[in-house]
Structure 1
Amino acid sequence: MTPEVSVVIPTHNRCAMLLEAIDSVLAQSTAAFELIVIDDGSTDGTSENEHLRRLAETIRIEIDRIDHRGPAAARNRGVAIARAPLVAFLDSDDLWSPTKLERQLAFMRDNPGCAISQTGEIWIRNGQRVNPAHRHRKRAGDIFIDSLRTCLIGMSAVMMRTDLFRSSGGFDEHMTAAEDYDLWLRILIDHEAGLLDEPLVTRRGGHPDQLSAKTPALDRFRILTLAKLLADDRLSPARRTSVVEVLAEKSRIYAGGLRRRGKIEEVRLYEQVADQARGWDTRAAAEIGCAIESMRSMLREISHER
């Protein structure tokens, strides 16, 4: 029997938290799912964990191991082998409330025109509940422009049509951070986001191996995303203007930070992007393509240095 939703959990060196995340899926009030765990080259014994092996042998969990390539590649691999018409992601450090899938599946059935939706979240940082800032407030509908400055879709809260994910090209595997911001914006060009405004996800942050905590200067990845958007023919003139505005703003701020750290070569690139972006309102394809490649090249160099 084909499941209604494929649940994809990527993991890297988080065996204990992974088992908690899996338990929260197995405790769901509906059984209409398959669970796919992608071990992204863990070296902490995840693939040899006896409890995890027993789970895979006795219930509907598929565990696939790949060479370490980051969460984008791990999630893409999970969706590649997914069988359900819907896919939901759960980060291995997060948890679901027992009715999360049941409530969200019902929401998707009740809103057949909705291709992507999310639920509310509870935020935990360093073991304490915190209230997200107003700019992180979730909302439904056309949230493309609002999402340019702040990622407004939570990875562990999202559910979407599998064919939409695949047709969008999935996560950009060259981005080692902000790959979610990148994909959601590409999808939000054509699709409104549904919201089941119930706190059905516990988002756990503050632990030392959290990717956002380990990755400095996340805005360099967001700037690349915004430049990529300007190479997309689907943008309306109004949306294009908004992307240009945020791109120039973020590039200027990031260049200022680089200058304070003496990174002069990088400063030149991002100041040039900020200066040229104003002319990209009308799609200067050659300049945009050159800027995208320069940013990708610089990110690769930084990655190799680390």
Structure 2
Amino acid sequence: MVAQVSVIIPTYNRRAMLREAIESVLAQSVREFELILIDDGSTDGTAEELTRFGSAIRAERIDHRGPAAARNRGVALARAPLIAFLDSDDLWEPTKLERQLAFMRENPGCAISQTDEIWIRNGRRVNPGMRHRKRAGDIFIDSLRTCLISMSCTMMRTDLFRSLGGFDEIMLAAEDYDLWLRILIDHEAGLLDEPLVTRRGGHRDQTSATTPAIDRFRILALTKLLIDDRLSPMRRAAVVEVLAEKCRIYAGGLARRGRIDQARFYEHIADQAPNWQPAKIGCVVISIRSALHEIPHEC
């Protein structure tokens, strides 16, 4: 049987939760998939855990580089025309792939779709706020302030992912926010309005808990968008507005911690972004990337 979708699970030191995630994929009601697991340098016995699944999965271990690199490696191995991501702390309902594959077949012009999801935090079900409510169609501007596509709910065309260069591997967080925005410039989001994913949060190793100041990565994503000549004037103005907001908030936090030079750098971005020319934007992107690693760079 030829796989119609490549399912990609990146993982790092989540042995127990990973087993449940894999089992939720292997319990799918259709078999038109290949399951690719990328072990991002785990040290908790994940490699031994994976041996129990035998040939049901394609597993590869890489040096620890973060989820963006792990997912990119998974897509590099993918052989199917569609890809679906599952975070190793989340779960799929048994009909997730069946229902979403049918949706993509019924909507051949749809490049990316997602399902609805159930949120579990610290073992208890919680209701997401209205700003997180999923919707279909042109959601680019709404997605600037709030990431409206969930990783474990997503299915997309493999060629589209590859054409955009995949996830930005320098981004230790918000790499999904960055990719979705680049996709949403040209593509509407499809929505299968059924809760076919369980999103489990509240544990200590979540990215939101282990990566400080995630807005610095969102600032990079927004600045990169300003280089993209696909942006209409209206969308460019919306990006600049949100970029300035996030820069000022982040600068305020830096100033409170006594990091005055860094605060001034982000305040400068907020002030100057509306007037940037393309060459200047490219230089600022390099400066922000350098700042993420605290490497000096001046435009």
TM range (shorter): over 0.9
1:150-175 deviations in whole A, cap 9, x for unaligned? 00000000000000110011000011
Query: Residue 185 of structure 1 corresponds to which residue in structure 2?
Result: 181
Please state whether the residue corresponding to 2:8 is helix, strand or coil.
Answer: strand
Residue 2 of structure 1 contacts residue 83 of structure 1 at CA under 8 Å; is this kept in 2?
Answer: no
Query: Residue 19 of structure 2 corresponds to which residue in structure 1?
Result: 19
- Runs (5+) with no aligned partner, structure 2: none
How far off its partner does 1:301 sit?
2.2
Residue 8 of structure 1 contacts residue 87 of structure 1 at CA under 8 Å; is this kept in 2?
Answer: yes
1:21-72 deviations in whole A, cap 9, x for unaligned? 00000111111110000000001111122xx213123x3x100110101000
Query: Residue 288 of structure 1 corresponds to which residue in structure 2?
Result: 281
Equivalent of 1:166 in 147, 162, 168: 162
Aligned-residue CA RMSD (Å): 1.0
- Runs (5+) with no aligned partner, structure 1: none
1:267-299 deviations in whole A, cap 9, x for unaligned? 01100000001213xxx1122122111111110
Query: Residue 6 of structure 2 corresponds to which residue in structure 1?
Result: 6
Alignment of 1:125-136 (within 5 A): 125-136=121-132
Alignment of 1:66-215 (within 5 A): 66-215=62-211
Normalising by structure 2, we get a TM-score of 0.97
1:298 aligned onto 2:294: no
Query: Residue 53 of structure 2 corresponds to which residue in structure 1?
Result: 55
Between Structure 1 and Structure 2, how many residues are aligned? 295
Return the alpha-carbon distance in structure 2 between the equivalents of residues 78 and 278 of structure 1: 38
Residue 126 of structure 1 contacts residue 206 of structure 1 at CA under 8 Å; is this kept in 2?
Answer: yes
Q: Quick one: which amino acid aligns to residue 195 of structure 2? A: P
Q: Quick one: which amino acid aligns to residue 216 of structure 1? A: P
Residue 119 of structure 1 contacts residue 197 of structure 1 at CA under 8 Å; is this kept in 2?
Answer: yes
Alignment of 1:187-266 (within 5 A): 187-266=183-262
Aligned structure 1 segments of 4 or more residues deviating by more than 6 angstroms = none
Please state whether the residue corresponding to 2:245 is helix, strand or coil.
Answer: helix
Please state whether the residue corresponding to 2:284 is helix, strand or coil.
Answer: helix
Please state whether the residue corresponding to 2:29 is helix, strand or coil.
Answer: coil
Return the alpha-carbon distance in structure 1 between the equivalents of residues 198 and 147 of structure 2: 17
